[in-house]
Amino acid sequence: MFSCVSTTLTDFGLNPKHLGAHIGMTMVLHTHSRRLDYHPHIHVVVPGGGIDKKRRQWKKKKGQYLFNQKALAKVFRARFLDALNKQGLSVPRGVTSKWVVDCRRVGTGITALKYLSRYLYRGVISERNIVSNQNGRVTFKYVESQTGKICYRTLKGEHFLHLILCHVLPKGFRRVRDYGFLHSNAKKLLFLAQLVLHVQIKIMAIRPKPVFRCPCCNSPMIVVRVRTAGTKPG
């Protein structure tokens, strides 16, 4: 899925009709819906421009629309189904011919990054959203995306645990990946883009280490030696 999404967006960016430049992108994998159903999908943050390597210049996307989302959906669907066939994976019956790609402008991108970061540093469901756990049944709440209303869902305990385990990624699998000039192997290309756009990266201040204070006078103490507790004789 990562490969199909990245190649589709990259080819659209290289097309002179759309942009004619190498774009960069950050992808985040989500595997569930708000109801905790298995719903793998990828969120992509794409800067509104790309790098023309031949001319060594930055090309900005005109307007507030990246690429045609209907065209993106058709190309991605064809490549994804072809990749499944090459891997020997069976395609489910009744696959709809119309897939959905939501492509929209999010301003400077800070709002999109904040939205995605909430899914990276927390579990599938927070404990405060679990309303009750009684008689072998679990009830949790979620916010409906279309209406914004709070809804409730009650499941058997084993079914609830099954939904949670469906979203545990395999060991070593990366949920976040970068492509294009944002990839870690494209540091020179990224530096070129920052140079052209006059990007100034702020140096992060080093967080001071906590100070050990004397329990009597509350004055800072200097750590001379650390001794671990000895093991008791068996």
pLDDT at 231: 59
Q: Return the pLDDT at 233.
A: 57
Q: CA-to-CA distance for 129 and 221, rounded, in angstroms? A: 44
Distance, C-alpha 232 to centroid of its chain: 48
Q: Which residues pair with 152 in a beta bridge?
A: 141
CA angle 219, 223, 225 (to 5 degrees): 145
Share of the chain above pLDDT 70, in %: 96
Q: How far apart are CA 110 and CA 94, in angstroms?
A: 38
Find residue 45's DSSP bridge partners.
26
* 3 state DSSP class of 169: coil
- In the chain, domain spans: 2-124+171-196, 125-166
Name residues of the chain where pLDDT drops below 70: 119, 121-122, 229-234
Coil/strand/helix, residue 176: strand
Give the Cα separation of 83 and 175 in Å (integer).
Answer: 20
Does the pTM surpass 0.85? The reply is no
Are the beta carbons of 29 and 60 closer than 8 angstroms?
Answer: no
pLDDT for the residue numbered 9? 92
pLDDT digits (tens, 9 = 90+) for 37-82: 888 888 888 888 888 878 878 888 887 778 888 889 999 998 998 8
The burial class, CB within 10 Å (0-12 / 13-18 / 19+), for 184 is exposed
What is the pLDDT at residue 50?
86
Q: What's the pLDDT at 232?
A: 59
Q: Which of 184, 177, 199 is nearest to 25 (CA)?
A: 177
Residue 196: its H or E element: helix 187-196
Cα separation, 105 vs 38, whole angstroms: 27
Please name the residue ranges forming H helices in 15-156: 69-86, 110-120
The rounded distance, in Å, linking the Cα atoms of 75 and 180 is 19
**R_g (Cα) of the chain, nearest Å:** 25
